[in-house]
Amino acid sequence: MQQTRRLLDIMARLRDPDTGCPWDLRQDFASLVPYTLEEAYEVADAIERGDFTDLRDELGDLLLQVAFHSRMAEERGLFDFEAVAAAIADKLERRHPHVFAGIDFASDAERLRHWETSKLEERSEKNGQTGGSVLEGVATALPALMEAHKLQKRAARHGFDWDASAAVLSKVREELDELEQAVASGDTAHVREEMGDLLFALVNLARHLDVDAETALREGNRKFRRRFRFIEDCVSRSGKRLTDCTLAELDAFWDEAKRAGH
């Protein structure tokens, strides 16, 4: 707790109207959003790389964002860091009665039902109503693949889902056919719409195959980086530039990268 208090005191000094840092004083909730998102992704990157020293530092950077937002809220009389910590502590205890309240669940399915019921009650209480959509609470600011996964998962928990991955594969093929038709029509808006439908169906397929689409695409991105870097090295050793090579030559280097395990 000593270091937490130190962090909050530093944040208060940075936001002091008379002696604080000009950059920190210029910030508001909206201006910090890009930094908050960036820090969350840098945490994920450190985990994926297995760099736990970096993970410690990146978690600190993310914690700074929590402290920063909390300090600005405190200045407005909205809430403070302690209220943020209390809110998540209360939520964890409420959602884990089998740990904190001595309630036994007969199965994981029953425990999951309690978790979902608790979340629905929290959303209803927050919105001041007893109804509302089960999709409420899925943030629209999430990366699109992650948002699609969460929307589908939420709907599936309430019975709206395919029975098996084979049916989802058929849906992917259907959406691909519709995209081809849209491309042939030359209607840009229609192409964008059908591309969105295809991507949504692919996320659904990934979910049914127990694959996180966001993670899979990030891994695909890293693979592309490795293989393209291999191509660049091959081209450089040949004394050429990328733009000097034909597509067939670059494809041959790509195949070589695959055989080399990149």
3-state SS assignment for residue 255 = helix
Q: Does CATH place domain 2-127 in 1.20.1600.10?
A: no
Quick one: pLDDT at residue 129? 57
Least confident of 15-24, 116-125, 194-203: 116-125
Spatial separation of the C-alpha atoms in residues 61 and 79, rounded to whole Å: 21
Alpha carbon dihedral 103, 109, 110, 113, in 10-degree steps, equals 110
Residues 6+ apart with CB under 8 A from 48: 218
- Delimit the domains of the chain by residue range: 2-127, 144-211, 216-260
pLDDT tens by residue, 74-97: 999 999 999 999 999 999 998 888
Q: Do 94 and 87 form a contact (C-beta atoms < 8 A)?
A: no
Decide if 2-127 and 144-211 have a common fold. yes
Angle CA 220–225–227, to nearest 5: 95
Residues 6+ apart with CB under 8 A from 208: 162, 164, 165, 168
Quick one: pLDDT at residue 234? 94
Query: pLDDT band at residue 108, thresholds of 50, 70 and 90?
Result: confident
Domain 144-211 falls in which CATH fold?
Helix Hairpins (1.10.287)
| Sequential DSSP letters for 105-157 | PSSHHHHHHHHHHHHHHHHHHHHTSS---TTTT--TTS-HHHHHHHHHHHHHT
Query: pLDDT band at residue 130, thresholds of 50, 70 and 90?
Result: low
Average pLDDT, the chain: 92
